[in-house]
């Protein structure tokens, strides 16, 4: 009876276990995933327009949101999506950083989005990397106030750094942190060095909205593409909430949507060891993967694995399956 149910559905409904502490949607590739996010943002913009209201977007930079912006620009040019009711607040900016510099987020946002849509310039807010140090604290306080004055962020777009940062909130950032000046992690500077002439040119500091500022957004899209993000995504989504992985604080937010391509999802339990999550359509490849996993887990050669080993590690299903096939 059990086998029959499995054969028809591909998994055992009664054994499903969810390791993910945030809702996750996995797409075949980042193009599809980005279109999905852009369409959701466009829908929200249009709904507010119908009600004669503005919408506040929290925007991210880096390679992750580029295709989202490309799709939003296409929707503006080809499908009449207007940005006249959009107020935007960007997450962060390097410090110090002239606006027109090749690597500035001010320039990035204009190149990828603002120059191609009808957003009103006075509605654009990007942390200012040109201010003297002594003005930064007041400026950051003012940035928070402006977000509040606009009614708070409706939709926040986020990428994730390999350190687990959101915005530039690096490991050690506290849960209620506001917009402020921060020091960049070594790994973040290393990852950013491809955009600069040399690693030494990457600024040591940045201005960033805080974890607390991000947390106030009503809806958050956390996006990640590529295998190099798989490990940190697994920690942020399945791991404990910890300041070592600032993105894990999002587990406490009531409305986060994690959007991944297949490679970034690779380390999630349901993808890596689906038998632990109870989602098993036992193909030959998957059987091989499970047996090798069990052998590594128990430290025993494959031929020495006993029924007990299979049972104790959630693979009893596989024994039933194999017995049934003889
Ligand atoms: P990336 O960076 O989009 O360039 O991968 C994301 C981030 O650091 O937040």
Q: What is the mean pLDDT of residues 265-274?
A: 94
Q: What is the pLDDT of residue 282?
A: 86
**143 Cα: distance to centroid of ligand 1 (angstroms):** 22
Q: Is 170 a catalytic residue?
A: yes
**188 Cα: distance to centroid of ligand 1 (angstroms):** 9
Q: What is the pLDDT of residue 10?
A: 39
Q: Which atom of ligand 1 is nearest to the CA of 166?
A: 9
Indicate whether residue 160 lines ligand 1 (CB < 6 A). yes
Could you report the per-residue pLDDT of 50-84, keeping only the tens digit for each? 999 999 999 999 999 999 999 999 999 999 999 99
Q: What is the pLDDT of residue 35?
A: 98
pLDDT value at 169 more than 50: yes
Indicate whether residue 246 lines ligand 1 (CB < 6 A). no
Closest residue by Cα to residue 259 from 42, 14, 69, 27: 27
CA atoms of 41 and 242, how far apart (whole Å): 29
Could you report the per-residue pLDDT of 106-127, keeping only the tens digit for each? 999 999 999 999 999 999 999 9
CA atoms of 2 and 319, how far apart (whole Å): 13
- Asked whether the beta carbons of 150 and 85 are under 8 A apart, the reply is no
Token pair 């995504």: residue? 233
pLDDT value at 319 more than 90: no
**176 Cα: distance to centroid of ligand 1 (angstroms):** 22
Which of 159, 182, 184 to mutate to test ligand 1, by most ligand atoms within 8 A of the CB atom?
Answer: 159
Computed over every residue of the chain, the mean pLDDT equals: 93
- List domains and CATH numbers for the chain: 4-272 (3.40.50.1360), 282-324 (no CATH)
Indicate whether residue 167 lines ligand 1 (CB < 6 A). no
If you take atom 7 of ligand 1, which residue's CA is the nearest one? 161
Indicate whether residue 159 lines ligand 1 (CB < 6 A). yes
Q: What is the pLDDT of residue 177?
A: 98
Q: What is the pLDDT of residue 16?
A: 65
Which of 1-10, 112-121, 175-184, 282-291 is least confident?
1-10
pLDDT value at 1 more than 50: no
| Dihedral sign, Cα of residue 37, residue 39, residue 43, residue 49 | positive
Which of 2-6, 11-15, 51-55, 99-103 is least confident?
2-6
CB atoms within 10 A of CB 145: 11
**5 Cα: distance to centroid of ligand 1 (angstroms):** 43
Indicate whether residue 228 lines ligand 1 (CB < 6 A). no
Q: What is the mean pLDDT of residues 241-247?
A: 98
Q: Provide the pLDDT confidence category of residue 325 given band limits of 50, 70 and 90.
A: low
pLDDT value at 90 more than 50: yes
Q: What is the pLDDT of residue 308?
A: 93
Out of 93, 144, 170, 267, which one is annotated catalytic?
Answer: 170
Indicate whether residue 164 lines ligand 1 (CB < 6 A). no
Q: What is the pLDDT of residue 93?
A: 98
Q: What is the pLDDT of residue 279?
A: 67
287 vs 12, more confident: 287
pLDDT value at 85 more than 50: yes
Alpha helices in the chain (DSSP H): 2-9, 30-50, 66-79, 105-112, 133-149, 186-192, 211-215, 230-238, 269-272, 274-277, 284-298, 307-312, 316-325
Q: What is the pLDDT of residue 3?
A: 36
Could you report the per-residue pLDDT of 284-317, keeping only the tens digit for each? 899 999 999 999 999 999 999 999 999 888 888 8
Indicate whether residue 236 lines ligand 1 (CB < 6 A). no
Q: Which atom of ligand 1 is nearest to the CA of 158?
A: 9
pLDDT value at 12 more than 70: no
Q: What is the pLDDT of residue 13?
A: 41
Q: Provide the pLDDT confidence category of residue 326 given band limits of 50, 70 and 90.
A: low
Indicate whether residue 63 lines ligand 1 (CB < 6 A). yes
Token pair, residue 81, equals 């999506």
């Amino acid at each position: 009876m059990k086998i029959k149910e499995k054969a028809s559905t591909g998994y055992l409904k009664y054994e499903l276990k969810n390791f993910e502490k945030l809702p996750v949607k996995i797409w075949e590739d980042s193009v599809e995933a980005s279109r999905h996010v852009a369409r959701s943002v466009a829908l929200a913009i249009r709904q507010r327009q119908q009600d004669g209201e503005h919408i506040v977007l929290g925007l991210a930079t880096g390679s992750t949101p580029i295709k989202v912006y490309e799709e939003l620009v296409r929707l503006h040019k080809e499908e009449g999506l207007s940005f006249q009711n959009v107020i935007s607040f960007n997450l962060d900016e390097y410090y110090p950083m002239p606006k027109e510099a090749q690597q500035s987020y001010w320039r990035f946002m204009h190149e990828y989005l603002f120059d191609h849509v009808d957003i009103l310039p006075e509605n654009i807010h990007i942390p200012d990397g040109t201010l003297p140090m002594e003005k930064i604290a007041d400026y950051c306080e003012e940035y928070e106030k402006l977000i509040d004055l606009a009614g708070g962020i409706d939709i926040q777009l986020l990428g994730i750094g390999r350190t687990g940062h959101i915005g530039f909130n690096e490991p050690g950032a506290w849960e209620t942190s506001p917009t402020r000046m921060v020091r960049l992690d070594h790994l973040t500077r290393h990852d950013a060095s491809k955009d600069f002439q040399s690693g030494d040119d990457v600024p040591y500091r940045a201005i960033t909205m805080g974890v607390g500022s991000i947390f106030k957004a009503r809806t958050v899209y956390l996006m990640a593409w590529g295998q190099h993000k798989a490990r940190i995504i697994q920690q942020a989504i399945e791991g404990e909430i910890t300041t070592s992985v600032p993105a894990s604080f999002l587990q406490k937010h009531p409305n986060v949507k994690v959007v991944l391509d297949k490679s970034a999802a690779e380390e999630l339990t349901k993808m890596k060891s689906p038998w632990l999550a109870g989602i098993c359509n036992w193909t030959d490849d998957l059987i091989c993967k499970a047996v090798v996993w069990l052998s590594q887990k128990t430290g025993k050669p494959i031929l020495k694995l006993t029924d007990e080993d299979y049972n104790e590690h959630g693979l009893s299903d596989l024994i039933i399956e194999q017995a049934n096939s003889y």
